[in-house]
Amino acid sequence: MWREENTMLMNSNEYLSIVESIKEEIRTAQYRATVRVNRELLMLYHSIGDIINKHKTWGNKFIENLAADIKLSFPDATGYSVRNLKYMAKFAAAYPSSEFVQQAVAQIPWGHNVVLLDKLSHHEERLWYAEKVSENGWSRNVLVHQIESGLYQRQVLTEKISNFENRLPSPQSELATQTMKDPYIFDFIPFKSDMVERDIEKALVKDVTKLLLELGTGFAFLGNQYHLNVGGDDFYIDLLFYNLNLRCYVVIELKTGEFKPEYAGQLNFYLSAVDGILKKEQDNPSIGLLLCKSKNDLVAEYSLKDMSKPIGVSSYRVTSDLPKELEHQFPSLEDIQKRISRPKN
């Protein structure tokens, strides 16, 4: 009898809900503890770096002696090598105010901060990447990739072509504009010179995880060649997403050539169909993104001016289009296949 009651209890929705609630509280507490420990560590490193900077006239010998004395007093402690002490000094110099603990750099691991110090010289750019790491939970390798792909330049500094400001209410228009990049970099596509739109689309979908990483936070993939029936006629959307932050459908059309005005008209129709067939009352207006191999910005601006639906136009690049100094940093398709097929010891 007791066993039957116990089984019924453990299978009840109320019990399962309580278990999930407790598990979520545990996860939240663990996350807060990790953030707290990380913040304390960064404050310590900042303090040590500040002391080193105040005595920088003593030269490198001071740092070498300091590393040796710390090792002598705390033999089991790690992170106090000469190299890391120099990073602490650089960290304190980059964020001279103790108010840095209120910024995103205090929320991300020390290793990520070292990457920011190594690869970036502008304060605003470091803070922007730190915020993105905090928001998206990027690993160190992903952070390095995003920096080397010029994400800040492509998403923040670039001039974006869209009619979002005139077709979307605030703050959705600002958020949609911030989400856009130009160009998008699809460096994971095994490029061939004779590729058509469908080939690129299939290659993107084949590695949808990397596609979502490039598109940015909040995108959920719903399908490619997504079928819509409008009045008995069949239409197929290249790529369909739902963005959880914008709370709307996002229709992406791919073109292998230069932007043409008629592309905007086609995408405008697709957005009308998505809004009429898929969009629910709680959803915001659907957004279109037209990705072309190249574009004339003025032609694109004029084309969007009188479109009724919110549309953005960006270019995209694949590995063969990247500058030589950036292209070699990514493994070729052959390299990846060799690594996958290599027998394990």
pLDDT tens-digit profile of 129-168? Answer: 999 998 888 889 999 999 999 999 999 999 999 999 999 9
Could you tell me the pLDDT band of residue 33, with boundaries at 50, 70 and 90? confident
Radius of gyration of the chain (CA): 25
Report the pLDDT value the prediction gives residue 319, as an integer from 0 to 100.
65
pTM reported for the whole predicted model: 0.75
| CA 101/CA 3 separation, integer angstroms | 53
CA distance 66 to 60: 10
Residue 225 has what pLDDT? 93
Q: Going by C-beta distance under 8 Å and a sequence separation of 6 or more, which residues neighbour residue 80?
A: 67, 70, 71, 74
Q: Please state the domain extents for the chain.
A: 1-102, 108-148, 161-327
pLDDT in tens, 199-224: 888 888 888 888 888 999 889 999 99
CATH of domain 161-327: 3.40.1350.10
Distance from C-alpha of 301 to C-alpha of 307, rounded to nearest angstrom: 10
What pLDDT score was predicted for residue 6? 54
- Reported as a pLDDT band with limits 50, 70 and 90, residue 198 is confident
Q: Is the confidence at residue 266, as pLDDT, over 80?
A: yes
The contacts of residue 215 (CB under 8 Å, 6+ apart) are: 184, 241
Cβ pair 142, 214 in contact under 8 A: no
Residue 261's pLDDT is what?
96
Residue 9 has pLDDT above 70, yes or no: no
**Top-confidence residue, 316 or 342:** 316
- pLDDT at position 192 is 65
